[in-house]
Amino acid sequence: MTMLEATPDIARKVLKPSVNPRFAPLPMPSLDYTDAVAAETAHLYERVKTVIPAIEWPVMAPYIKAINDLKKVRNAVILAHNYQTPEIYHCVADIVGDSLQLAKEATKTDADVIVQCGVHFMAETSKLLNPDKVVLIPDMRAGCSLAASITGADIRLLRERYPGVPVVTYVNTSADVKAESDMCCTSSNAVEVVESLGADTVMFLPDQYLASWVASQTKVKIISWAGACEVHERFTGAELRAYREADPTIQIIAHPECPPDVIAEADFTGSTAKMADWVKTRRPTKVLMVTECSMASNVAAEVPDVEFIRPCNLCPHMKRITLPRILDSLLYMKDEILVDPMVAAKARRAVERMVNLKS
């Protein structure tokens, strides 16, 4: 496997948001925790009562009610990644899932506004697939260490070095990078995408650990890049062995963005969606989910009979998305995601090839 050193990210072009009179700022709603708010949100608290202490709910409930009310006013839909906190994932989101699920569902909504509760590349992907809709992200600073590890210019240089070799890029990349790619993938369909190209060799960028895992699952030769997720690369095989030695009954499941020594210790490896399905289907007595912290909380809320052991690594970018910021996003229609039309046209092609891939 060829390993190339990552280069610093370059600044993205900033486009000026369009002004639409339909989306004028709205007044701030009351955020008091009244009997009416308690009654209206009681069914939502039932979903999360095993993972959110009752003492915290009076602070969250007024925001949740206000956000759900504003969605109707704006004709908005909220997409939330599996790494969002339970009060977002279970109480205000309309569509939840991993990157592939969100990409597919984004094409089906008839809403005027998409609020992406995830990171910047996810919001860009929603915009690529919905060019005529307004796409918002509650905090423009919600980036991704993996996406920042590679640029479109890097891929152009790689194509010169490996002429004729197709390029598959992980969806965790900027629109600029997607525009230089033949096809995108997620951790759910990475092997399927690589093999669909019918090539002996494929450049798989930018996650080195996901590339290593894909290489172990296919006969296609993989050329990789030295990118990594700052959350998943902090886990170690030694850490997991210590958990298993302390309790041999524990089941360990890991995301393929983790290093190889972590994957070697896992009982199951899969995307966030496949990890959640594994727990819901297998119902292990105890499970250690090796991925971002909130993922375990969101699944735990749905399977209270399973005990979760949590070696907690938080994604600092995902945690920029909060209820107050989602409320501000809907009140003031910020921050809008815009992609240069020329870049978008090329990037959309790579994403659509992924979304339309037949299993």
| Cβ contact 154:191 at 8 Å | no
pLDDT confidence of residue 309? 85
Report yes or no on 345 lying in a domain.
no
Is the backbone peptide bond immediately before 335 cis, with ω within 30 degrees of 0?
Answer: yes
pLDDT confidence of residue 213? 93
| Cβ contact 183:198 at 8 Å | no
Q: Among the residues of the chain, which ranges form H helices?
A: 35-48, 57-74, 86-89, 99-106, 120-129, 152-161, 175-178, 190-196, 208-217, 237-246, 260-265, 272-282, 293-300, 323-332, 341-355
Tell me which residue has tokens 């990475």: 190
Query: What's the rounded mean pLDDT across residues 112-118?
Result: 95
Report yes or no on 348 lying in a domain.
no
Whether residue 77 sits in one domain with residue 158: no
Whether residue 100 sits in one domain with residue 35: yes
Q: DSSP string of 230-278?
A: TTGGG--HHHHHHHHHH-TT-EEEE-TTS-HHHHHH-SEE--HHHHHHH
Helix, strand and coil percent figures for the chain, each rounded to 5? 45, 15, 40
Whether residue 198 sits in one domain with residue 138: no
pLDDT confidence of residue 356? 87
Ranges 28-37, 143-152, 247-256, 309-318, most confident: 28-37
CB atoms within 10 A of CB 264: 13
Report yes or no on 269 lying in a domain.
yes
Provide the 3-class DSSP secondary structure of residue 291.
Answer: coil
Report yes or no on 107 lying in a domain.
yes
Instruction: Using the predicted structure, report yes or no on whether residue 325 has a pLDDT greater than 80.
Output: yes
Whether residue 267 sits in one domain with residue 207: no
Report yes or no on 10 lying in a domain.
no
Is the backbone peptide bond immediately before 206 cis, with ω within 30 degrees of 0?
Answer: yes
Measured over all CA atoms, what is the biggest interatomic distance in the chain, rounded to whole angstroms?
66
Instruction: Using the predicted structure, report yes or no on whether residue 9 has a pLDDT greater than 60.
Output: no
pLDDT confidence of residue 14? 46
Whether residue 201 sits in one domain with residue 295: no
Q: How many domains does the chain have?
A: 3
Whether residue 107 sits in one domain with residue 37: yes
Kindly report the CATH number assigned to the domain that includes residue 83: 3.40.50.10800
Tell me which residue has tokens 């050329």: 223
Per-residue model confidence as pLDDT tens digits over 28-44: 999 999 999 999 999 99
**DSSP element (H, E) containing 280:** helix 272-282
Whether residue 137 sits in one domain with residue 164: no
Whether residue 136 sits in one domain with residue 25: yes
> What are the tokens at 194?
């690589």
pLDDT confidence of residue 23? 80
Report yes or no on 291 lying in a domain.
yes
Q: pTM, whole model, 2 decimals?
A: 0.85
Report yes or no on 346 lying in a domain.
no
CA distance 178 to 346: 8
Instruction: Using the predicted structure, report yes or no on whether residue 4 has a pLDDT greater than 70.
Output: no
Per-residue model confidence as pLDDT tens digits over 41-88: 999 999 999 999 999 999 999 999 999 999 999 999 999 998 899 999
The alpha carbon of 111 is separated from its chain's Cα centroid by a whole number of angstroms, namely 21
Instruction: Using the predicted structure, report yes or no on whether residue 236 has a pLDDT greater than 60.
Output: yes
Whether residue 273 sits in one domain with residue 199: no
Query: What's the rounded mean pLDDT across residues 213-225?
Result: 96
Whether residue 32 sits in one domain with residue 85: yes
Whether residue 130 sits in one domain with residue 34: yes
Our CA angle for 18, 21, 24, nearest 5°, is 95
Residue-number span of the structural domain to which 253 is assigned: 232-309
CA distance 244 to 247: 5
Report yes or no on 9 lying in a domain.
no
